[in-house]
Amino acid sequence: MKARKIVDEMDSYVPGKSQDEIAQDFNLNKEDIIKLGSNENPWGPSPKAMEAIKREINSINRYPESQLGELVLQIAEYSGVDDSQVIVGGDGADEIIDVLAKTFIDAGDEFIVPLPSYMYYEYLLMQYGAKPVYARWDLEKNELNVNSIYDAITDKTKMIFLCSPNNPTGTLIDKEVLVDIASKNPEILIVIDEAYFEYSEVTNKDLINDFNNIFIIRTMSKVLGLAGMRIGYGLACPEIIEYMRRIKPVFSLTRLSFAAALNTFKDTEYIEESIKKGIESRQYLYDEISKIDGLYVFPSKSNFMLIDIRDTGFTAGQLALELMKKGVIVRDCTSFKGLDEYWIRISICTLEEDKRFIEILKEVLA
Protein backbone atom coordinates (compact mmCIF):
# COMPACT_ATOMS: atom_id res chain seq x y z
CA MET A 1 0.00 0.00 0.00
CA LYS A 2 1.51 3.31 -1.08
CA ALA A 3 1.20 6.23 1.33
CA ARG A 4 0.17 9.71 0.19
CA LYS A 5 2.96 11.53 -1.65
CA ILE A 6 3.55 14.06 1.14
CA VAL A 7 3.77 11.29 3.76
CA ASP A 8 6.21 9.34 1.61
CA GLU A 9 8.44 12.40 1.31
CA MET A 10 8.29 13.52 4.97
CA ASP A 11 10.89 12.82 7.63
CA SER A 12 9.74 11.80 11.09
CA TYR A 13 9.82 14.43 13.84
CA VAL A 14 12.82 13.92 16.16
CA PRO A 15 11.85 14.32 19.86
CA GLY A 16 14.26 14.52 22.78
CA LYS A 17 15.60 11.32 24.34
CA SER A 18 13.72 9.83 27.30
CA GLN A 19 15.22 8.67 30.58
CA ASP A 20 14.14 5.09 29.84
CA GLU A 21 15.98 5.12 26.50
CA ILE A 22 19.19 6.46 28.03
CA ALA A 23 19.05 4.09 30.99
CA GLN A 24 18.74 1.11 28.66
CA ASP A 25 21.32 2.29 26.09
CA PHE A 26 24.03 3.09 28.63
CA ASN A 27 23.18 0.70 31.47
CA LEU A 28 22.34 3.50 33.91
CA ASN A 29 19.85 3.83 36.74
CA LYS A 30 16.87 5.84 35.51
CA GLU A 31 16.62 7.67 38.87
CA ASP A 32 20.19 9.01 38.48
CA ILE A 33 19.67 10.50 35.02
CA ILE A 34 19.50 14.29 34.73
CA LYS A 35 17.04 15.25 31.99
CA LEU A 36 17.70 18.63 30.43
CA GLY A 37 16.45 17.84 26.94
CA SER A 38 12.67 18.28 26.88
CA ASN A 39 11.83 21.58 28.63
CA GLU A 40 9.72 19.98 31.36
CA ASN A 41 8.88 21.05 34.91
CA PRO A 42 11.43 19.09 37.02
CA TRP A 43 9.54 19.54 40.29
CA GLY A 44 6.63 17.33 39.33
CA PRO A 45 2.89 18.03 39.03
CA SER A 46 0.63 19.88 41.43
CA PRO A 47 -0.32 17.82 44.51
CA LYS A 48 -3.92 18.89 43.90
CA ALA A 49 -3.73 17.44 40.39
CA MET A 50 -2.43 14.12 41.71
CA GLU A 51 -5.19 13.91 44.29
CA ALA A 52 -7.79 14.67 41.64
CA ILE A 53 -6.45 11.87 39.42
CA LYS A 54 -6.75 9.41 42.30
CA ARG A 55 -10.36 10.46 42.90
CA GLU A 56 -11.22 10.13 39.22
CA ILE A 57 -9.53 6.78 38.56
CA ASN A 58 -12.66 4.74 39.25
CA SER A 59 -14.57 6.61 36.54
CA ILE A 60 -12.35 5.85 33.55
CA ASN A 61 -14.96 3.41 32.26
CA ARG A 62 -17.06 6.49 31.39
CA TYR A 63 -16.55 8.89 28.50
CA PRO A 64 -15.04 12.25 29.48
CA GLU A 65 -16.88 15.55 29.28
CA SER A 66 -17.06 16.74 25.69
CA GLN A 67 -17.67 20.47 26.11
CA LEU A 68 -15.04 20.93 28.87
CA GLY A 69 -17.06 23.89 30.17
CA GLU A 70 -15.62 24.02 33.68
CA LEU A 71 -12.05 23.80 32.40
CA VAL A 72 -12.69 26.44 29.73
CA LEU A 73 -13.93 28.81 32.44
CA GLN A 74 -10.86 28.07 34.56
CA ILE A 75 -8.51 28.75 31.64
CA ALA A 76 -10.37 31.95 30.78
CA GLU A 77 -9.94 33.18 34.35
CA TYR A 78 -6.25 32.19 34.40
CA SER A 79 -5.65 33.92 31.07
CA GLY A 80 -7.79 37.00 31.68
CA VAL A 81 -10.00 36.44 28.64
CA ASP A 82 -13.64 35.54 27.96
CA ASP A 83 -14.61 31.87 27.83
CA SER A 84 -15.74 32.35 24.22
CA GLN A 85 -12.09 33.06 23.39
CA VAL A 86 -10.76 29.68 24.64
CA ILE A 87 -10.37 26.27 23.02
CA VAL A 88 -8.87 23.23 24.78
CA GLY A 89 -7.20 20.23 23.16
CA GLY A 90 -5.48 16.99 24.01
CA ASP A 91 -1.97 15.93 22.90
CA GLY A 92 -0.59 19.15 24.35
CA ALA A 93 -0.51 22.17 22.09
CA ASP A 94 0.10 19.86 19.13
CA GLU A 95 -3.61 19.09 18.75
CA ILE A 96 -4.36 22.81 18.78
CA ILE A 97 -1.93 23.31 15.87
CA ASP A 98 -3.43 20.32 14.06
CA VAL A 99 -6.98 21.68 14.47
CA LEU A 100 -5.81 25.08 13.23
CA ALA A 101 -4.47 23.37 10.12
CA LYS A 102 -7.64 21.33 9.55
CA THR A 103 -9.76 24.44 10.01
CA PHE A 104 -7.90 26.97 7.87
CA ILE A 105 -5.39 25.26 5.55
CA ASP A 106 -6.09 24.23 1.96
CA ALA A 107 -3.65 22.29 -0.18
CA GLY A 108 -1.25 24.74 -1.82
CA ASP A 109 -1.41 27.33 0.95
CA GLU A 110 1.86 28.65 2.36
CA PHE A 111 2.86 29.28 5.96
CA ILE A 112 5.90 31.12 7.30
CA VAL A 113 8.25 29.88 10.01
CA PRO A 114 11.36 31.87 10.97
CA LEU A 115 14.36 29.56 11.44
CA PRO A 116 15.41 28.24 13.85
CA SER A 117 12.10 27.63 15.61
CA TYR A 118 9.81 24.83 16.76
CA MET A 119 9.64 22.46 13.80
CA TYR A 120 6.39 20.73 14.70
CA TYR A 121 4.47 23.53 12.96
CA GLU A 122 5.98 22.40 9.69
CA TYR A 123 5.51 18.71 10.48
CA LEU A 124 1.76 19.13 11.08
CA LEU A 125 0.80 21.61 8.36
CA MET A 126 2.64 19.84 5.55
CA GLN A 127 0.34 16.84 6.12
CA TYR A 128 -2.51 18.98 4.79
CA GLY A 129 -0.67 20.05 1.65
CA ALA A 130 0.67 23.37 2.93
CA LYS A 131 4.12 24.58 1.92
CA PRO A 132 6.59 26.04 4.46
CA VAL A 133 8.35 29.28 3.60
CA TYR A 134 11.26 30.21 5.82
CA ALA A 135 12.03 33.54 7.40
CA ARG A 136 14.87 33.75 9.93
CA TRP A 137 16.05 34.62 13.38
CA ASP A 138 19.21 36.70 13.52
CA LEU A 139 21.42 34.54 15.75
CA GLU A 140 24.10 37.22 16.07
CA LYS A 141 21.61 39.74 17.45
CA ASN A 142 19.44 37.03 19.07
CA GLU A 143 16.25 38.52 17.63
CA LEU A 144 13.66 37.98 14.93
CA ASN A 145 14.64 39.34 11.53
CA VAL A 146 11.38 41.18 10.87
CA ASN A 147 12.21 42.06 7.26
CA SER A 148 12.60 38.37 6.46
CA ILE A 149 8.97 37.87 7.50
CA TYR A 150 7.74 40.55 5.11
CA ASP A 151 9.98 39.23 2.32
CA ALA A 152 8.46 35.75 2.73
CA ILE A 153 4.81 36.84 2.41
CA THR A 154 3.04 36.02 -0.87
CA ASP A 155 -0.59 35.92 -1.96
CA LYS A 156 -0.59 32.25 -0.86
CA THR A 157 0.47 32.93 2.72
CA LYS A 158 -2.20 31.66 5.13
CA MET A 159 -0.36 31.60 8.48
CA ILE A 160 2.75 33.01 10.16
CA PHE A 161 4.10 31.12 13.18
CA LEU A 162 5.89 33.27 15.75
CA CYS A 163 7.12 31.53 18.88
CA SER A 164 7.65 33.93 21.81
CA PRO A 165 9.79 33.03 23.71
CA ASN A 166 11.20 31.26 20.69
CA ASN A 167 12.25 27.63 20.85
CA PRO A 168 15.24 27.07 20.78
CA THR A 169 16.68 30.59 21.11
CA GLY A 170 14.65 31.70 24.17
CA THR A 171 14.04 35.05 22.50
CA LEU A 172 10.96 37.25 22.97
CA ILE A 173 9.34 39.12 20.08
CA ASP A 174 8.42 42.72 20.84
CA LYS A 175 4.66 43.30 20.98
CA GLU A 176 5.05 46.23 18.59
CA VAL A 177 6.44 43.83 15.99
CA LEU A 178 3.49 41.48 16.39
CA VAL A 179 1.03 44.36 16.10
CA ASP A 180 2.74 45.63 12.96
CA ILE A 181 2.69 42.23 11.25
CA ALA A 182 -0.95 41.56 12.20
CA SER A 183 -2.22 45.00 11.21
CA LYS A 184 -0.47 44.98 7.82
CA ASN A 185 -1.70 41.48 6.96
CA PRO A 186 -5.33 41.16 8.11
CA GLU A 187 -6.00 38.13 5.86
CA ILE A 188 -3.12 36.11 7.35
CA LEU A 189 -3.49 34.26 10.65
CA ILE A 190 -0.67 35.26 13.01
CA VAL A 191 -0.07 32.30 15.33
CA ILE A 192 1.82 33.32 18.49
CA ASP A 193 3.16 30.35 20.42
CA GLU A 194 3.24 31.24 24.13
CA ALA A 195 4.13 27.76 25.42
CA TYR A 196 6.68 29.32 27.77
CA PHE A 197 5.04 32.65 28.55
CA GLU A 198 4.94 32.09 32.33
CA TYR A 199 8.74 31.97 32.48
CA SER A 200 9.03 35.19 30.46
CA GLU A 201 6.31 36.89 32.51
CA VAL A 202 5.16 38.46 29.21
CA THR A 203 1.98 37.72 27.26
CA ASN A 204 0.29 39.06 24.16
CA LYS A 205 -3.19 37.76 25.06
CA ASP A 206 -4.69 41.27 25.02
CA LEU A 207 -4.11 41.39 21.25
CA ILE A 208 -6.94 38.93 20.60
CA ASN A 209 -9.37 41.71 21.58
CA ASP A 210 -7.95 44.02 18.93
CA PHE A 211 -7.19 41.60 16.08
CA ASN A 212 -9.35 38.84 14.63
CA ASN A 213 -6.29 37.37 12.88
CA ILE A 214 -4.21 36.56 15.99
CA PHE A 215 -4.23 33.13 17.59
CA ILE A 216 -2.26 32.32 20.76
CA ILE A 217 -1.09 28.77 21.52
CA ARG A 218 -0.41 27.64 25.07
CA THR A 219 0.33 24.36 26.83
CA MET A 220 0.12 22.76 30.27
CA SER A 221 3.33 20.78 29.63
CA LYS A 222 5.80 23.37 30.93
CA VAL A 223 5.23 25.49 34.07
CA LEU A 224 2.00 23.64 34.82
CA GLY A 225 3.78 20.28 35.08
CA LEU A 226 1.44 18.10 33.00
CA ALA A 227 3.59 17.08 30.02
CA GLY A 228 2.51 13.46 30.47
CA MET A 229 -1.19 14.36 30.45
CA ARG A 230 -1.05 16.13 27.04
CA ILE A 231 -3.19 19.25 27.42
CA GLY A 232 -3.00 22.43 25.37
CA TYR A 233 -5.24 25.41 24.75
CA GLY A 234 -5.65 28.33 22.41
CA LEU A 235 -6.86 31.92 22.72
CA ALA A 236 -8.43 33.90 19.90
CA CYS A 237 -11.50 35.87 18.86
CA PRO A 238 -14.81 33.96 19.24
CA GLU A 239 -15.21 33.49 15.47
CA ILE A 240 -11.94 31.53 15.17
CA ILE A 241 -12.74 29.49 18.27
CA GLU A 242 -16.19 28.58 16.92
CA TYR A 243 -14.77 27.38 13.60
CA MET A 244 -12.19 25.23 15.39
CA ARG A 245 -14.75 23.66 17.71
CA ARG A 246 -16.55 22.28 14.66
CA ILE A 247 -13.37 20.36 13.72
CA LYS A 248 -11.84 19.41 17.08
CA PRO A 249 -12.19 15.78 18.21
CA VAL A 250 -15.06 15.48 20.69
CA PHE A 251 -13.29 13.45 23.39
CA SER A 252 -9.70 14.60 23.03
CA LEU A 253 -9.14 15.01 26.77
CA THR A 254 -9.32 11.95 29.01
CA ARG A 255 -11.16 12.06 32.33
CA LEU A 256 -7.80 12.01 34.10
CA SER A 257 -6.26 14.82 32.06
CA PHE A 258 -9.39 16.92 32.57
CA ALA A 259 -9.25 16.43 36.35
CA ALA A 260 -5.51 17.13 36.46
CA ALA A 261 -5.84 20.31 34.39
CA LEU A 262 -8.77 21.69 36.33
CA ASN A 263 -7.09 21.25 39.69
CA THR A 264 -3.70 22.51 38.54
CA PHE A 265 -5.21 25.87 37.61
CA LYS A 266 -6.79 26.01 41.06
CA ASP A 267 -3.38 25.48 42.70
CA THR A 268 -2.06 29.04 42.39
CA GLU A 269 0.64 28.45 45.02
CA TYR A 270 2.06 25.59 42.97
CA ILE A 271 2.08 27.69 39.79
CA GLU A 272 3.77 30.66 41.45
CA GLU A 273 6.40 28.40 43.04
CA SER A 274 7.09 26.61 39.74
CA ILE A 275 7.70 29.92 37.99
CA LYS A 276 9.94 31.21 40.77
CA LYS A 277 12.06 28.05 40.96
CA GLY A 278 12.26 27.83 37.19
CA ILE A 279 13.61 31.36 36.83
CA GLU A 280 16.13 30.71 39.64
CA SER A 281 17.34 27.56 37.90
CA ARG A 282 17.60 29.34 34.55
CA GLN A 283 19.67 32.14 36.05
CA TYR A 284 22.00 29.71 37.84
CA LEU A 285 22.63 27.72 34.65
CA TYR A 286 23.19 30.86 32.59
CA ASP A 287 25.66 32.30 35.11
CA GLU A 288 27.64 29.06 35.45
CA ILE A 289 27.77 28.19 31.76
CA SER A 290 28.85 31.75 30.91
CA LYS A 291 32.00 31.10 32.96
CA ILE A 292 33.05 28.04 30.91
CA ASP A 293 35.56 28.66 28.12
CA GLY A 294 34.45 27.57 24.68
CA LEU A 295 30.73 27.93 25.35
CA TYR A 296 28.45 30.78 24.32
CA VAL A 297 25.02 30.66 25.96
CA PHE A 298 22.09 32.76 24.81
CA PRO A 299 20.19 34.79 27.43
CA SER A 300 16.73 33.24 27.69
CA LYS A 301 13.23 34.20 28.74
CA SER A 302 12.10 30.59 28.78
CA ASN A 303 12.94 27.43 30.77
CA PHE A 304 15.70 26.46 28.36
CA MET A 305 18.73 28.04 26.76
CA LEU A 306 20.64 27.59 23.52
CA ILE A 307 24.41 27.04 23.66
CA ASP A 308 26.96 27.45 20.85
CA ILE A 309 29.67 24.81 21.42
CA ARG A 310 31.77 25.17 18.24
CA ASP A 311 34.84 26.35 20.17
CA THR A 312 34.94 23.20 22.33
CA GLY A 313 36.14 20.83 19.61
CA PHE A 314 32.90 18.83 19.90
CA THR A 315 29.94 18.66 17.57
CA ALA A 316 26.52 18.67 19.24
CA GLY A 317 26.10 14.97 18.55
CA GLN A 318 29.49 14.14 20.07
CA LEU A 319 28.96 16.24 23.19
CA ALA A 320 25.42 14.93 23.69
CA LEU A 321 26.72 11.36 23.47
CA GLU A 322 29.49 11.94 26.02
CA LEU A 323 27.02 13.56 28.40
CA MET A 324 24.52 10.72 27.95
CA LYS A 325 27.20 8.22 28.90
CA LYS A 326 27.40 10.04 32.23
CA GLY A 327 23.63 10.19 32.71
CA VAL A 328 22.86 13.68 31.37
CA ILE A 329 20.34 14.28 28.58
CA VAL A 330 20.68 17.49 26.55
CA ARG A 331 19.08 18.33 23.21
CA ASP A 332 21.32 17.96 20.18
CA CYS A 333 19.93 20.71 17.94
CA THR A 334 21.40 19.41 14.69
CA SER A 335 17.89 18.46 13.55
CA PHE A 336 16.67 22.07 13.91
CA LYS A 337 16.53 23.79 10.53
CA GLY A 338 18.51 27.01 10.71
CA LEU A 339 21.17 25.61 13.05
CA ASP A 340 24.34 23.73 12.18
CA GLU A 341 25.91 20.83 14.09
CA TYR A 342 27.38 23.00 16.88
CA TRP A 343 24.36 23.83 19.02
CA ILE A 344 22.81 22.16 22.05
CA ARG A 345 19.81 23.19 24.12
CA ILE A 346 19.45 22.59 27.85
CA SER A 347 16.41 23.07 30.06
CA ILE A 348 16.07 23.82 33.74
CA CYS A 349 16.36 21.22 36.49
CA THR A 350 16.40 21.34 40.25
CA LEU A 351 19.35 23.31 41.62
CA GLU A 352 20.90 20.06 42.88
CA GLU A 353 20.68 18.57 39.39
CA ASP A 354 21.93 21.83 37.85
CA LYS A 355 25.07 21.66 39.99
CA ARG A 356 25.72 18.03 39.08
CA PHE A 357 25.23 18.86 35.40
CA ILE A 358 27.74 21.72 35.54
CA GLU A 359 30.31 19.44 37.19
CA ILE A 360 29.78 16.72 34.56
CA LEU A 361 29.86 19.25 31.69
CA LYS A 362 33.20 20.63 32.90
CA GLU A 363 34.56 17.11 33.26
CA VAL A 364 33.54 16.14 29.71
CA LEU A 365 34.89 19.36 28.18
CA ALA A 366 38.19 18.93 30.01
- What's the predicted TM-score (pTM) here? 0.94
CB 158 within 8 A of CB 129: no
Alpha helix (H) residue ranges in the chain: 5-9, 19-26, 47-56, 69-79, 93-104, 120-125, 146-152, 175-184, 197-200, 238-247, 255-266, 268-290, 316-325, 351-365
Per-position b or e across 200-222, b if 16+ CB within 10 A of its CB: bebbbbebbeebebbbbbbbbbb
Distance of alpha carbon 187 from alpha carbon 145, whole angstroms: 21
In terms of Cα–Cα distance, which of 285, 283, 282, 310 is closest to 296? 310
Q: How does residue 346 score in pLDDT terms, banded at 50, 70 and 90?
A: very high
Other residues' Cβ atoms within 10 Å of the Cβ of residue 352: 10
CB 71 within 8 A of CB 88: yes
Q: Where, residue-wise, is CATH 3.40.640.10 in the chain?
A: 48-266
Q: What is the pLDDT of residue 3?
A: 79
Q: How does residue 13 score in pLDDT terms, banded at 50, 70 and 90?
A: low
Which tens digits make up the pLDDT trace of 180-221? 999 999 999 999 999 999 999 999 999 999 999 999 999 999
Q: Where, residue-wise, is CATH 3.90.1150.10 in the chain?
A: 5-44+269-365
Identify the three-state secondary structure at position 328.
strand
CATH of domain 5-44+269-365: 3.90.1150.10
DSSP letter string over 30-41? GGG-EE-SS---
Which tens digits make up the pLDDT trace of 243-264? 999 999 888 899 999 999 999 9
214-219/189-193 β-pairing: parallel
CATH fold group of domain 48-266: Aspartate Aminotransferase; domain 2 (3.40.640)
Q: What is the pLDDT of residue 16?
A: 66
